[in-house]
Amino acid sequence: MFFEAIKRTASSDWWLLALLGLWSVAGLTVILERLHFLWNIQERSEDFKNRILGSMEKGELQAAAALCEASNVPLAQVFERGFEVARTNPDNLAEAVALRRTAVVQEFKRNLWLLGTVGSTAVFVGLFGTIVGIMDAFHSMSLTGQSGFKVVAAGISSALIATAIGLAIALLALMAYNYFTARINALALAYRVMTEEFVLSLGAIIKRAA
């Protein structure tokens, strides 16, 4: 019954299923890309921070700076900026590091707007298809002159398929959006703590060298 309704919808309203398919592909692409980007990032950042602080405690600032340049952990961009400012304008160390951290954390949210858009619009796309399908069903009934629930039942069931698919896509997108938002908020807090540790340690080294 369900698959028969999908076949009828695909034959009559293929454009609607194509649009919902595009929405689902866009949402799934963002989900997979963000999962790959954020995978194990907090653990890797924590390990990187410990390595940098360990080198700084040994007085190996050049080695620590070189490690920042070679690392692909996003936290390395923040620490690298800190080393640059420490050499040129150490009084602005905390502000410079905070600004770079904000930019890095903002990058974590890349493409989430698309996921939110899919979650908020997929239902309406499905409802639009359902309304069009119901209108077609009643129009066909007026042309044939026949009436009754059995006459329009097939058309209405096909039309409701669009709403069901739209709801499924929206639920998946919104669940993923909320998960990524919570994950990024927690990661932003962790990055703030790690960068403050870095600033305190580097600031102490600058004071001792002054």
Q: Could you report the per-residue pLDDT of 95-144, keeping only the tens digit for each?
A: 999 999 999 999 999 999 999 999 888 888 877 777 776 776 666 666 66
What is the tens place of the pLDDT at every residue in 52-65? Answer: 999 998 888 889 99
pTM comes to: 0.81
Written as six digits, the tokens of 72 are 């692909």
Domain boundaries, the chain: 2-209
pLDDT tops 50 at residue 191: yes
CA distance 85 to 113: 33
Residue 1's pLDDT is: 47
Residue 147 φ/ψ, nearest 5 degrees: -140, 175
Structure tokens belonging to residue 46: 């924590």
